[in-house]
Amino acid sequence: MRTRSADAGLVVTTAEGAGAPGQPASALALVGVSAGYGRIPIVHDVSIEIRRGQIVALVGSNGSGKSTLMKSVIGLLPALSGTILLAGLDVTAAQPEARVARGLGYVPQVNDVFNRLDVRENLEMGAYRMRRGQVAGRIDEILEAFPTLKPLIRRNARQLSGGQRKLVAIARVLMTSPSMLLLDEPTAGLAPQLAEEILTTQVAVLAELGCGVLLVEQRVAEAFRVADHAYVLVNGHIYLGGRPAEVIETPGFDRLMLGLDLAVPAPGPSAAPGPGQESAG
Amino acid sequence: MSSAWDYYLTSVLVFFAIDTSAGLALNLQFGIAGIYNFGFVVFQAIGAYVAGVTTIGPPVPGLQESYILGARLPFPIPWLAGAAAAALVSLPVGLACLRRLRGDYQAMVLLVFALLATTVATDATGLFNGASGIYGIPQPFVSLGLSRAGYNWAYFGVAALIAFVVYLGAQRISFSPLGRVLRSIRDNESAAAAVGIGVYRARVKVFVLGGAVAGLSGAVMVSYIGAWSPGSWAYAETFVLLSALVVGGSGNNNGAVLGTFLLPVLVTQVIGLIPLSTADVDVVSSLEWVLIAAVTLFCLWLWPQGALPDSRRIRKILLPARSAVTGEPQS
Amino acid sequence: MSTLLSGVGFGLLTAALLALAAVGFTVQFGITNLFNLAYAQFMLVAAYVGYTLTNAGVDVWVALPIAALAVGALSVAVNRFVYMPFVSRGRALFSMVLVTVSVGLAVEYLIEVFAGAGAQQILMNPGSTWSAGGLVLTTSQIIIVVIAAIAMALFHLLLRHTRLGKAMRATSSDVSLARACGIPAARVRDVAWFISGVMCGAAGVVLGINVSFDPTTGSSYLVPIAAAAVLGGIGRPHGAMLGALVVGVGSEVFAAITTPSYKDVIAFGVLLVVMLVRPQGILPGSLRTDVVEP
């Protein structure tokens, strides 16, 4: 049943209208998604929408379920309930391969490069779905955008520093020019300067090119500076959602970031209007 | 007729008692500590060989036999010597295999060890008389002057007593602090390994202890059947005991007893009762192995916990459930 | 001196067999993260297929690829319909050992049912004898060594220079990341099992040419295969090639200067030492997590 790929999926028009005039198209929409390991959900009833060109930050304490959510979006974990729409197409039951073929890109938090492959081969794997003739040219383009990788191109990924690895991982995911990108803590363990550069340069440029970005971050301040919209995940539930400036000002935000429930959940966060609507409003 | 039946029944009972001791020892290693000791039968074989050569006396010059340690020691000593020899060999093997290595890696090395041991015992003819093995081993209680059936009953009594003592010991260990440590290793090796050297030591301890009981069971076996050769202990013999644990419920001593009754005893005997021409005997004995393998796969698929599950198994709810093979989550 | 050289000669032949076998074994581990302990029995299936075909008048050099392809197909089938269902069902890595041994045992005794327990050998015209110094090989033995060398070279090119080969390495390195890159991991796995099965089958036919075999011969070959694979770092094909050369030549030379029956002892000695001193294998750069519980 799960082998049916996105090709068999239904084209669904979201409530907001996938291509409503004046608004960029929906890149990714999660509708009431629960996900977890085995049959035990870790993330409950999450609804988020990301439009093309938008950066949405997802923050929360350790163990709040951010990575679990990301894995279920890429398809490495099954969604236990709910619907995942990729550019309006239902991919809830699709394999990760099929989602990638539909323009989804994913940079995991850890194990983000192929250790046994060199940098060039890592980039080639990012272009696995691309026509063979185009790969070499695309690698040259990518290396222009990431000049620091040029001298490392034949270096084994295992021998790279943490920052270099992360750059390789981001460069690899960009090989196919994804329309929707999942970045799971791209700056974890990096020097502040490099982290700043990745967020404000790489990620922001991506969004300008029309890519939707779902960004999981520990560095809340930096993430909120580039994000158009932010959500706070606590114990697998979305507690807050809104413009970054509003979210960070919300009373109790610090408590939520420590993973502590507020006595009363914020009013209907997961039913809150999508970011697209707000940005339009 | 009746005496033949009596003889048949008592030999089955003797084998059952011996297999029970062995099954309980393997359960301690595999069921409780999670060590895939595919070399278990080697330790039984060592016990059998040593008990054998310390019972039959030195090689008879004209017979072209050669084996080490030829001696004629009185009854309990050869058995104890067999157990001690098996424990002695299992110490370095355990020290080498149980260190740092991933469980399936250990299993492969122990399997390879078993395969190699057969080769060595066959080719090193000076050790235990090579492929012909040792035979004509005197039975220990002949001096009592019992009838054939009476002797079998007496032998069963001794074997059953040993099995019972092993059972009590296994129960004691299984519910002791050591048992808890071992279970925690089995259920989450990486977490338990973080605790440190104590884990390694606990596993080696149980490996040597299991080896000693294996040696004893081999000794009891060889004194009963009177002969022992590489043909008696193919690596697959370990597999029968492992299958028995899977079927009965590994980690649970009662399950181990039930499993040894069901697989090595019941299945083998039921198949043995099928009337066969001699031509078919080989085919059926091969099919018996195929059947045991199939039963094992079947049980692993449907009831991996076995008929009598280990109630103290730590349920793996929050462990990283991602399969390393498919990258898919496991349920 | 001449015994030493003849040992080297036969060592090359054994190394050829082991290279084919150990690379296949290590690829299966790398791509699926399990030790296929039925591997040696699969080899034996090929030996029996080769034996049956040559008995029916098929030329041995035709029988070899047929048997190899048959075992390739068998490997894919067993992996997909037995091993993978167990893995997806979430049986711990541990029970997979029991699963693969069960399959191996079933195969071993099914062979015995169909082919009998007697010893067989694939008979062929060995061709003329070539000697250089004290090193003596027949034409057919030289062909075997050359076939293995070509197979290794081709496999190296596949791994290093083709998209499929790189995808196999990527999947072996991290299957989740591979899938997240859009690599169809299940298909890549099938291809890897087919290729490794073909190598396993080729090794099996070579076994049947080199020595006489019976249904239990397969299991005894697990010793040098595991030693070669572990020596090179389990999961690493190039390491397995090197391991095969070391174990193959080493054990035959050892056998030539002592007793032939002890050649497996050296293989096991190698296995034990590597396991204790350097479980990640002799090549530099392996991650220890490849071998030790992560």
* Mean pLDDT confidence for C96-109: 92
pLDDT over threshold 60, residue A15 = no
Confidence of residue A9 (pLDDT cuts 50, 70, 90): very low
Residue A213 has pLDDT above 80, yes or no: yes
Q: Tell me which residue has tokens 């393997």.
A: B26
Report pLDDT for C92. Answer: 62
The minimum CA-CA distance between C35 and chain B, rounded to whole Å, is 7
The pLDDT value given to residue C53 = 95
Determine, yes or no, domain membership for A108.
no
Give A33's contacts (C-beta < 8 A, 6+ positions apart).
A43, A45, A46, A47, A69, A72, A73, A79, A81, A82, A83, A84
Domain assignment present for A123: no
Q: Is B91 on the interface with C (CB under 8 A)?
A: no
DSSP category for residue B31: I
Reported confidence tier of residue B142, pLDDT bands at 50, 70, 90: confident
**Any idea which of A100-109, C113-122, C263-272 has the lowest mean pLDDT?**
C263-272
For residues A243 and A278, is the Cβ–Cβ distance under 8 A?
A: yes
B36: nearest Cα among C70, C97, A92: C97
- Does pLDDT of A128 surpass 70? yes
Mean pLDDT of A133-159: 89
Domain assignment present for A80 = yes
pLDDT of residue A73: 94
User: How far is the alpha carbon of A76 from chain C, nearest alpha carbon, in Å?
Assistant: 7
Which has more confidence, B196 or B33?
A: B33
- Chain A residues lying within 8 Å of B320, measured CB to CB: 37
Neighbours of chain C (3+ CB pairs under 8 A): A, B
- Chains B and C form CB pairs within 8 A to the count of 167
Domain assignment present for residue A122? The answer is no
* Percent of residues, chain A, with pLDDT higher than 70: 84
Domain assignment present for residue A184? The answer is yes
CA C144, C149, C150, C152 torsion-angle sign: positive
Look at residue A2 and tell me whether its pLDDT is greater than 50: no
| Identity of the residue numbered A230 | A
How many other C-beta atoms are found inside a 10 Å radius of the C-beta of residue C55? Answer: 12
Going by their DSSP bridges, the two strands A104-107 and A55-60 should be labelled as unpaired
Q: Can you give the residue ranges of every domain in chain B? A: 2-230
**Tokens linked to A148:** 């620091």
Residues above pLDDT 90, as percent of chain B: 28
The H or E element containing residue A233 is strand A229-234
Cβ of residue A2 closer than 8 Å to a chain C Cβ: no
pLDDT, tens digit (0-9, with 9 covering 90-100), for C273-285: 787 777 777 666 5
Chain segment A36-65, per-residue pLDDT in tens? 887 788 999 999 999 999 999 999 888 888
- Is the CB of residue A80 less than 8 Å away from at least one CB of chain B? no
Mutate to test the interface with A, among C177, C189, C190, C283 (most CBs of A within 10 A): C177
pLDDT, residue C209, reads 92
What is the percent of chain A where pLDDT is above 90?
36
Angle between helices C263-277 and B76-97 (to 10 degrees): 60
CATH topology of domain C2-290: ABC transporter involved in vitamin B12 uptake, BtuC (1.10.3470)
Residues 6+ apart with CB under 8 A from C94: B34, B36, B103, B104, B107
Burial class (CB in 10 A: 0-12, 13-18, 19+), C135: middle
pLDDT at C36: 92
In angstroms, rounded to a whole number, what is the distance separating the alpha carbons of residues A180 and A87? 9
* Position B139 pLDDT exceeds 70: yes
pLDDT band at B28 (very low <50, low <70, confident <90, very high): very high
Question: To the nearest whole percent, how much of chain C has pLDDT over 90?
Answer: 52
Once rounded to an integer, what is the mean pLDDT over residues C138-167? 92
pLDDT in tens, C40-51: 999 999 999 999
Residue partners of C56: CB distance under 8 A and separation at least 6: none
Among B95, B124, B122, B93, which Cα is nearest to B110's? B93
Name the nearest CA neighbour of B116 among C253, C259, C267, C243. C267
Question: What does the mean pLDDT of chain A come to?
Answer: 81
Distance CA B176, CA B182 (A): 10
Averaged pLDDT for residues B300-329: 60
Q: Choosing among C88, C101, C263, which should be mutated to test the B contact, i.e. which has the most B CBs within 10 A?
A: C101
Reduced to 3 states (helix: H, G, I; strand: E, B; else coil), residue A56 is strand
Binary contact (A76, B320; C-beta < 8 A):
no
Strands A229-234 and A55-60: parallel
The domain tally of chain A equals 1
Whether residue B140 has pLDDT greater than 70: yes
User: Mean of the per-residue pLDDT values for chain C?
Assistant: 87
Three-class SS of B254-271: HHHHHHHHHHHHHHHHHH
Structure tokens at A188: 């974890």
Does A269 have pLDDT greater than 70? Answer: no
pLDDT tens digit sequence for B234-269: 888 898 899 999 888 888 889 999 999 988 888 877
